Amino acid sequence: MNFLSVILFSLSLSVCLAKQLPKHEDKCHNLLGDELIAEILSYEKVKDEILNYVLQGDFKGQTYDQLAKFVDKFGARPSGSEVLERSIDYMIELTREEDINDIVTEELEVPHWVRGEEKITMLEPRVKDISLLGLGRSASTPPEGITAEVIVFENYDQLDKALDEDVRGKIVLYDPIFTTYSETNQYRTQGATKAAAKGAVASLVRSIAPFSINSPHTGSQTYGDEANKIPTAAITLEDADLIRRMYDRGENIVLNIKMSSTLDTKVSRNTIIDLKGSVHPEKLVIVSGHIDSWDVGQGAMDDGGGLFISWAAPVILKRLNLIPKRTVRSIFWTAEELGLVGAYAYEEAHRNESHNINFIMESDEGTFAPLGLIVAGTDKARCIVAEVLKLFESINASTLIEDDSPGSDISVIIKTGIPGASLHNENEKYFWFHHTEGDTMNVESPEELDLGAAFWTAVAYIIADISVDIPR
C-alpha cells in the first residue's frame, strides 16, 4: 500500500455515516428505481452459493494456504528483482492450473533500488546502535559514513522557522507523532528534500506507525528535482523518542550513519487475467492487488492478501461455473511500492479503451475481516454499490464509505473518471506491520482471508452481471 490510499479515510468515514441516514435511502431509491433494486436483491442466491463454497465448501482455507505457499516460496518481491519476476511466472502457472488461460503480461520499466549495508551508531551522549531502514531510492553515504549532530523537528513548520545556520551540516530527525498515515507520511516522502534545502547532511524520520517493538518501517521517498540527494532513513519510535528526550534535555547528540544502496531500472510486468464475460466480454470489472513488495518482511499483508483475493475471484467463479455477462479481470500490479509504476503504465497503455472499464476494485490496505467498500463514483454509482453491499449483512460487510480517491494503484485509473472501490476491512493494526520485517503470514488469518475472498468474488460477480453499467 502506498501513501495515496489512506487520504481522508477518517474524514470520509464520518461523511459516510452522516449520509447513511434515511434521506440517503430515499435518494438511492429515487435514483435506482424499484426494478433495479429488486434485480440486485435477486443476487442473494448466487451470493450465498459463493459464500458457502468459500466459507464452508471446497475453497475453505484455500486462499490462506495458497498465499502461504507463495509467500514461503518467494518471500520479499521488490521492484526490479528476479524473485519478483519468478513470482509472477508462478502466479501465471497457478492460474493456468485452474484452466483459466486468458492471461497476458505487459512489460514496463521499473525502478530497482537495492539496499546494502545500513548502520547508525549513536556516538554522543553514549554509544548505542540505532535500528534503521533506509527509505526507497535513498542515496548512499561515503564508506566511512556521515558523522554529525542531530537537530529534531516535530513538523515542517518548526523546520521552516529554524535558521539555516542551525540546520546546516546537521542530521535532521523528523519526529511527528502518528495520527493518520496520510497526515504523517509526508515526513517520510519529502523529508530529505526539505532538510537538504536547509543544508542538512542527512535526514531521519520517526517510523510512520502507531506501535512498535523496536520496528523500523521503510517506504518510498522522492528527491525533488533540485534537491541535494542526502541519505535518508526511518528509525524506530523507541529510538526517536530516546533522541527527542535527550534533545529536550539539551544533550548533544552525535550519530554516524552508514548506508549503501544501488539504483537502476529493470523490466517487470503487470499481469492481466480475464474470465471472459458471456454477453459483453469487452466490458471489464477489475479486481486487483500488487504483487511486488518491500524488500523487508515477506509481503504477506502488503500486498499478498490483496493479490490472492484478486487471484481467487476468477478462480472461484470458474470453479462454480458462474460466468457473468461482463468480463471479470484480475490485475496483479507491479512496482506499486516505488510509486504506482505498474498502474501508471497500465493506464497509459489502455487509455484508448478506458471506456470499457465498468468498475475497478483494489485490495491494498490489508485483508483482515471485510467490512464493505470504500467507493468513488457518482451518486448513482454509489447507490448501486450500496444496494449490492446490503446483500453482505450476514458477514457484516455492508458498509459503504465514500472517498473520491480510494486505493493506491487504482487511484491512477479512478482520477480519470472511472468508478471504483477499495476493500474496507478491520485493518486497525495494519500500520503496526506495514513496510517492516513483521509483514509475514502471521498477520494473516485463514478465516479472514476466506471472508475477503468470498466477499470480493461475489461483489465482482454481481457488478459484472447486473443489467446496467455502473454509471460515470
Cell of 401: 464509505
Stretch in the footprint of its own copies (CB under 8 A) among 162-170, 207-215, 223-231, 419-427: 207-215
Residue of 438, 451, 454, 459 that binds its own copies (CB under 8 A): 438
Identify which of residues 424 and 434 has a Cβ nearer to its own copies in the complex. Answer: 434
Scored b (16 or more CB within 10 A) or e, 246-263 reads: bbeeeeebebbbbbbbee
Strands 202-206 and 232-235: parallel
Interface with its own copies includes 415 (CB under 8 A)?
A: no
User: Residue 49's CB: how many other CB atoms inside 10 A?
Assistant: 15
Query: How many Å apart are CA 180 and CA 8, to the nearest integer?
Result: 9
Residue of 26, 41, 58, 73 that binds its own copies (CB under 8 A): 73
Secondary element (H or E) of residue 171: strand 171-174
Site string for its own copies, 96-125 (x = CB under 8 A): -----------------------------x
Least distance between its own copies and beta carbon 398 (Å): 31
Residue of 56, 278, 416, 442 that binds its own copies (CB under 8 A): 442
Interface with its own copies includes 245 (CB under 8 A)?
A: yes
Strands 232-235 and 254-275: unpaired
The closest of 273, 354, 291 to 97, measured between CA atoms, is: 273
Interface with its own copies includes 431 (CB under 8 A)?
A: no
Q: In 3-state terms, what secondary structure has residue 137?
A: coil
Least distance between its own copies and beta carbon 245 (Å): 6
What's 303's DSSP letter? I
Identify which of residues 242 and 323 has a Cβ nearer to its own copies in the complex. Answer: 242
Least distance between its own copies and beta carbon 264 (Å): 22
Residue of 1, 68, 205, 284 that binds its own copies (CB under 8 A): 68
Interface with its own copies includes 432 (CB under 8 A)?
A: yes
Residue of 185, 215, 367, 427 that binds its own copies (CB under 8 A): 215
Query: How many Å apart are CA 357 and CA 418, to the nearest integer?
Result: 7
Stretch in the footprint of its own copies (CB under 8 A) among 46-54, 238-246, 334-342, 460-468: 238-246
How many residues of this chain interact with its own copies, rule: CB under 8 A? 31
Interface with its own copies includes 238 (CB under 8 A)?
A: yes
Q: Which of residues 311-330 bind its own copies (CB under 8 A)?
A: none
Interface with its own copies includes 277 (CB under 8 A)?
A: no
Stretch in the footprint of its own copies (CB under 8 A) among 196-204, 213-221, 371-379, 452-460: 213-221
User: Of how many residues is the chain composed?
Assistant: 472
Stretch in the footprint of its own copies (CB under 8 A) among 225-233, 341-349, 393-401, 434-442: 434-442
Identify which of residues 223 and 247 has a Cβ nearer to its own copies in the complex. Answer: 247
Identify which of residues 76 and 383 has a Cβ nearer to its own copies in the complex. Answer: 76
Identify which of residues 75 and 281 has a Cβ nearer to its own copies in the complex. Answer: 75
| CA quadruple 313, 314, 319, 325: dihedral, nearest 10 | 110
Query: How many Å apart are CA 30 and CA 118, to the nearest integer?
Result: 60
Angle at 297 between CA 295 and CA 302, to 5 degrees: 85
Whether 360 contacts 435, CB under 8 Å: no
List CB contacts of 163: < 8 A, sequence separation 6 or more.
none
Q: Name the catalytic one among 85, 336, 362, 444.
A: 336
Query: How many Å apart are CA 60 and CA 451, to the nearest integer?
Result: 10
The secondary structure of the chain in percent helix, strand, coil, rounded to multiples of 5, reads: 40, 25, 35
Q: How far is CA 234 from the centre of its chain?
A: 19
Query: How many Å apart are CA 151 and CA 89, to the nearest integer?
Result: 47
In sequence order, what DSSP letters do the residues of 38-73 get, joined into one string? HHHHTTHHHHHHHHHHHHTSTTTTHHHHHHHHHHHH
Interface with its own copies includes 131 (CB under 8 A)?
A: yes
Interface with its own copies includes 308 (CB under 8 A)?
A: no
Residue of 25, 72, 117, 149 that binds its own copies (CB under 8 A): 72
In sequence order, what DSSP letters do the residues of 113-134 get, joined into one string? EEEEEEEEEEEESS-EEE-EEE
Q: Tell me whether residue 25 is one of the annotated catalytic residues.
A: no
Identify which of residues 96 and 245 has a Cβ nearer to its own copies in the complex. Answer: 245
Interface with its own copies includes 91 (CB under 8 A)?
A: no
Q: Which residues are catalytic?
A: 336
Contact residues: its own copies, CB under 8 A = 68-69, 72-75, 125-126, 128, 131, 212-215, 237-238, 241-242, 245-246, 249, 297-298, 432-433, 436-438, 440-442
